[in-house]
Structure 1
Amino acid sequence: MKTMTTLSQKTLTLTAGAAIALGGLVLGANPAIAGPLNPINDFGPTNDEFGKGSGKDCQTAECSLQSELDFYTTDGPGIDVYDFLAQEYFPTSSLLSTLMFEIAGFKDYNSFGVYARDERDENNRPTNLIEIFSGSDSGVLAKALTQTEIASLGSYFGFYLTNKNGTTFYTEHALNIKGNQHAVIYGGNNTTFNINGSEVNFLPGDLLIAFEDLQEGRRYADWDYQDMVVHVRMRKDVPEPGLILGLGAMAGSLVATRKRQRR
């Protein structure tokens, strides 16, 4: 199991490029709403036990989403789990996703990703799904979508989780079995998390996606929404890594030209 932050060269380049090329441009924070969720899945008591079974990854005896987020919060206002967003899908942008934590018996099998909202089959099921984290991924792992993948999503995208049984849950409630809410989404509010030594800054425009990985009626379905928790940073129009380097070279050339003109 990985315990340290893993960043690919692509991820590092995209992150740096976003800061350099965009000058801090972020999507505006979305308004939050206060719960409740559906009565059957209203942050129910978890079946995970601290120090036992799938709960061995809990950091608190309560093992709830609220207590886990509180434990990892080191600065800022923190998160009230009932202050989740009303949005179920979002305008497409560049994405950098960080796997924060998983507390689930299926954590070694669950996969997470994004789907194109407007590509559906005859049964109204999404057909373009792009996996970001596979079941084998663990630890504080960050991955970015390529520009080709981003373009394939069209205008709007949502998030999904597929569990060990091959059942897929979406951030769009209507796509889920019985229309249940299997994910809660929070908007960035300048909270800082420290996950096993890795700092995650939850900035305005960022998202936090927290999934429940079992459907209603299944054994151990507890609606605790801490089965997979992912931080997502969204940016508009992040250039390809090669373009970022090219822009840097162009900027350097312009500076040199201006210096020569001043002489």
Structure 2
Amino acid sequence: GTCGLAALAMVHRYYSLQEGRRPRPSERQVLVGDELAAASSLTLAVLGKTSAGAVLPRSSLLELAKTRGYSVLGEMFNISQLADLASLEDVGLRATVLRSPTPHQVVDLLKAGVPLIVPFDVGMDGEPTVVGGEHAHYAVLVGFFNCSEHPACGGENDLVLFARHAWNVKPLHLWSFRQLQASSRQLESTSFYGRPGDGQVPRSTYTKGRSDLREPKCMALPPKGPGSNRALTRESLADQILVVTRRQSQERNK
């Protein structure tokens, strides 16, 4: 899917609205695939801004991802490459990858009004699950509360995170930090590319039966083992979050 691009589109829209600017008619809507309609209706309500569709000048995220050789259908199995897309001049954001994030780091960033993009395995209900990375997905963290300070938690001491993602299963997901961390940490591998390095993307439900697709030129994922039909995502995806902030006005005007 194109969930990583959809998440980035939501964050871009959030910052555009913070600046109080309205998209010009000449600007093109970001095309992120089938998830666009869902992504366009999501709101970053906890941060106090509404996402009514994401807009970027000149080119779409999907086109940028394909042109740079990061993706063939919008899939993003390397969070550093997603950071690179966010930091392009056409997108106008700044993005850094935070590895093994702690609860304190997540809270401090959300308090500062910074939405966080996080990869995890997603279940059919839209909630984090544990399937070794086969259902890797992205969500945007938009808020939190400390469960130890809330009577509804029954005394459990855990950080609860508010999240949104492109499936639009719920208007707002509530996940414990430990639940999300457990899902993110085990993003081991994917079968999307089949045998890495053979140049082919195998026909599957992910490709909607297409057999004419080639590996993106900058895929950079090693095989899980000799002759394996799975690509490792442990280093490129697991236990990492993307911290996306605005570029300063002087940077954007250069």
Would you say same fold, with TM above 0.5?
A: no
Tell me the TM-score normalised to structure 2 length: 0.29
Q: TM-score, normalised by structure 1?
A: 0.28
Larger strand proportion, structure 1 or 2?
A: 1
Q: Which fold has the larger relative contact order, with Cα–Cα distance below 8 Å and residues 6 or more apart in sequence? A: 1
